[in-house]
Chain A
């Protein structure tokens, strides 16, 4: 089966790749671009470890096949340097013990940043509802929820959306 040409903008850099249609975005990111911060978990859209931003919105890179991403702008966990919300979340995750092994953390952070920007008034129940799509198998969520709530409480981020 012949490969297809895929144009992506990844973390702001234009990239030209050749991919088999059956490959998913996460394969291209990890293998071709060595962006290994995006993790492969369940490969069926449930666990959230592979969450990246596609065209500005969080999406599962394990169920976004290569062709469907042609022309897309992709932002991975490596692409948030200089982002104020992400910086605050990283600090909060460290402070609140929101990670142990780190496997879920890149997806958690991208989901958490989306919550902070989209739902600036979210309380604990809403944060937990929104995080239901990111599985953590070691910290037990308390620290993660605390970290997200502390960033929500520290400022109204929606007004500072880039």
Chain B
């Protein structure tokens, strides 16, 4: 099986890239998610606009208490420590669990988030970290909370004429407590349930439950989960709509185990 025919465009400037996307081109970054969909003909774009050569697409800048990560930064770069500090340590561990190293060498954090597969790692982790997606459109940048970025299966808050330009993550104190657990029967396969919890000194803990066939469930105040993880995880999982019983059971286990990991 080969992909359906498409045209290839390699914009050299962000304004050219935005024009291509506004005209209907499918943005391509590392194409580690899009590539399989092309080969299976589940995606049949007319044109792919290759973003990989745009200036500043990959890379990192620190401004005060925010780290601005170029959307084209690869998972492998993050795994290898591109992001500094406590948040970088958390992200490096997450990155190491994404697919396989040869995939991480090309796949990008922005491409993965914008692709918005509900089972993708950054879709779960970035809302938990309190990240912000920075979209670039014809009139400039627009900031979207990661908690509201993915709106459905392969659906995001990006407008048809916008591109994901940066991911901003907050610098976290060394005392930030983090727990993350995902259910995979084999290393590197798509998660069947992912949960994350982040507790910062002086703030209510935040939890995210994802890989739910829809947008991630973001719990801005997960204090109840911290008090009684077993009971609250069951209560949250019971209220999830339209999930098969086994999915509900592992969603519950994911939340419980993320809390256990945080305390380990």
Pick the contact of B35 from A24, A57, A58 — CB < 8 Å? A24
Q: Which of A45-91 contact B (CB under 8 A)?
A: 45-46, 48, 51, 54, 57-60, 62-68, 70
How far is B22's CA from A66's CA once the two chains are assembled, in angstroms?
23
The reply to whether B39 and A24 contact each other, CB–CB distance below 8 Å, is yes
Tally B residues with Cβ within 8 Å of A.
32
The reply to whether A4 and B39 contact each other, CB–CB distance below 8 Å, is no
Interface centre among A44, A62, A64 (most CB of B within 10 A): A44
Q: Which of B90-104 contact A (CB under 8 A)?
A: 99-103
How far is B6's CA from A65's CA once the two chains are assembled, in angstroms?
11
Q: Which of A102-129 contact B (CB under 8 A)?
A: 111, 114, 129
The reply to whether A63 and B32 contact each other, CB–CB distance below 8 Å, is yes
The reply to whether A22 and B6 contact each other, CB–CB distance below 8 Å, is yes
Annotate B1-28 by CB proximity to A: 1 below 8 A, 0 otherwise.
1111111101000000000000000001
The reply to whether B8 and A133 contact each other, CB–CB distance below 8 Å, is no
The reply to whether A44 and B6 contact each other, CB–CB distance below 8 Å, is no
The reply to whether B3 and A129 contact each other, CB–CB distance below 8 Å, is no
The reply to whether A58 and B5 contact each other, CB–CB distance below 8 Å, is no
A37 within 8 A of B: no
Pull 15 A–B residue pairs with CB atoms less than 8 Å apart, ordered by A. A1-B7, A21-B48, A22-B2, A43-B36, A44-B36, A44-B39, A48-B100, A51-B102, A58-B102, A59-B105, A64-B31, A65-B8, A65-B48, A129-B187, A130-B101
> Which residues on B are within 8 Å of A, measured CB to CB?
1-8, 10, 28, 31-32, 35-36, 38-40, 48, 50, 52, 76, 99-103, 105-106, 186-189
> Which residues on A are within 8 Å of B, measured CB to CB?
1, 4, 20-24, 27, 43-46, 48, 51, 54, 57-60, 62-68, 70, 111, 114, 129-130, 132-134
